[in-house]
Structure 1
Amino acid sequence: MTMAQVFSTLVGEVAGLQVRAWDGSRSGEPGGRILHLHDRRALDHLLTTTSSELGLARAYLSGALSIEGMDEANPYPELVLLRDHVRPTAPRPSDLPRLATAVGALRPRPAPLPAEETPTRARRLATGLRHGRRRDATAIAHHYDVSNRFYELLLGPSMTYTCAAYPHEGATLEEAQAHKHDLVCRKLGLRPGMRLLDVGCGWGGMVRHAVEHYGVTALGVTLSRQQALWGQRMIERAGLTGRAEIRHCDYRDVTERGFDAISSIGLTEHIGVRAYPAYFAFLRDRLRDEGRLLNHCITWADNRHRPMSRRAFVERYVFPDGELAGSGRIVTEIEDAGLEVRHQENLREHYARTCGEWGANLTEHWAECVAEAGIGRARVWGLYLAGSRLNFERRGMGLHQVLAVRTSAHGVSGMGLRRVSL
């Protein structure tokens, strides 16, 4: 059995792909697009990794595997091909001796891991317990402190790294991000003179929008030092000093209370499902009576809790220690914390489109992104955005906004009989 046949046996035949290995062997469809195995590391990663997804990602990121004609900045078509057209081919009993002989001749050994891969969870214990302050700070730095310039190229002028909300089919990404911030402001019922807390504020887009367009004073907090520096500089440039602040700190270090509204946009994914009760109780305690909370986060399509697999590409390369839950779990935890849920909606299709727009930005600025963050990091982002787009399209994940209110001791919500205006 040749090296190309070993690969096809491990992964499965893919309609429309021909595999060519470094030893000159071929398998798959003659005339199909060529999947190159450039050296033995391609099989070493597959044979020494318990997840074929992670093994293929390692091989690609290390340069041992490529697909002819693939756009590294946007491998979406190739991921669709692999998702829809893999034909698993379990080896016939009569082929097992040949497979064993071929693998034995290869003598697979663990190949060096791509530099962008984070350590295993067990090794990350050196930075503290899961979702402890020190380890959370390390995880956030891994993802967000890449380079502010890299994110400017990727995200566009809004510097908003959360799901946009497209007001109409022809809306641009920038229009959709502004509309998302406005949607949150309207759901929160912001008015001049109110105080807003934005936890996990990123580069401060929500803070600036709320202050500039709704006349509130706002505090944003982030664990990323690079985000805080960039965001505070933009506040000063916009002349919002004294009305807006971006603070580099853990949200648990916020001592102020009595906020009229709190926005949590894209933070829940980082705090851990077991921490939900403490998290939502903390936010409840920062609200005044009749104050509102808007929680915006990625969700699973169901409520059967499962931690992010330690063998998953996203866990190892993108969001170490990241965790998701279903929208039902989010609603339950918010209600169990003593808040009253008033509205929720799923922006799943909007996030699929947002990821596609970010992928287009990466393609347009590929050379500069590579120069800024390195080829490995740029490839990680290409895979991540394409995979995320596909998962949102196919309903593997959703994006839920849940609006809740802290009622008074007598049950007064301050929302009256009106339904939430969208």
Structure 2
Amino acid sequence: MRTQVAIIGSGPAGLLLGQLLHLAGIDSVILERRDRAYVLARIRAGVLEQGTVGLIDKVGAGARLQAEGLKHDGFDLLFGGQRHRIALDGATGGGHVTVYGQTEVTRDLMDQRAAQNGRTVFEAKDVALHDFDRARPFVSYLENGVSKRLDCDVIAGCDGYHGVSRASVPESAITSFERIYPFGWLGILADVPPVSHELIYSGGERGFALCSMRSATRSRYYVQCALDQRVEDWSDERFWDELRRRLDPASAEALVTGPSIEKSIAPLRSFVAEPMRFGRLFLAGDAAHIVPPTGAKGLNLAASDVHYLSQALIEFFVERSSAGIDAYSAKALARIWKAERFSWWLTALMHDFPENGGFGQRMQRAELDYLVSSDPAMAALAENYVGLPY
């Protein structure tokens, strides 16, 4: 089989890239090691920047998002028993975010690709990348136990942190930067109305909590927990009780509880791999970087990568110029590091770091007090939260 762009991974990054290339008349094939049902069962983030929404609309997959997504023009910081609203619209000239689950984004993009007869190979096993340091790379894989070969001009690695794409790069050619945080997030999904119509980020002596949602009837809640905690140790009742303790009295009283439909613990890390181009192999999304979920930058960073990469590949195939692909890594990384900084800062501001002691807690409180009393500081927070321009 032959294509212009072999895309590894059918998450939002790979699917969005495939659709942007399709608009430009560039052929692609997506290889996914899991089946469609598995990909659509993954629970992920749900806060979209305007740039991400714009790209989804651009490829024609935004109808359901526009109909069902919840537009938010603010969120609350909760500390010292009080909620403080951070307005997004006024500080950013009308900026906002949209709450719409990543699972739904994936479904919409999958449906769009299928409607346009885009080629996706699910359950592609033993995927291996070859000769991406040359002009004619190819990908080998097993489909239903049969060996297959996909010849291509370039390979886009959109297969996540644990995928084969970054792992195929020689260690000497890549530099990794990483910060592992000493805690995780215990999260549950429940079919209950959210406690607030906007997100609440809570910080205090008991640790961080986040009140989020996927819709007006489905809520997503998190509490900071130790890395040695097990999901089995947390009954629904224990989770709801702990969440109440981390909220202000009014929110705790208003909290509607119910049985969880998903419960998991996610470790937190900051990670960046440089560069993001290796000959004819280009990394995008979690294959190249990870951010802690504080600030909701993971999916949105993947979308900005795809924006830059699609423009570069269109220039390469349509205009016969390599200027875009030569600049891709530096251009994408400049925005990535700004988002890494913001996610690291917000994580440090809102979480309990026991090793920081009393002095560290006082510094957090002083910074929070300053933040909510300073219009320029709140504007800077809002600017980063709604997403820096591409």
**TM-score interval, smaller chain:** under 0.3
More helix by percentage: 1
Task: Pick 1 or 2: higher relative contact order, CA cutoff 8 A, min separation 6.
Answer: 2
Q: What TM-score, normalized by structure 2, do the two folds share? A: 0.25
Q: Which has the larger radius of gyration?
A: 1
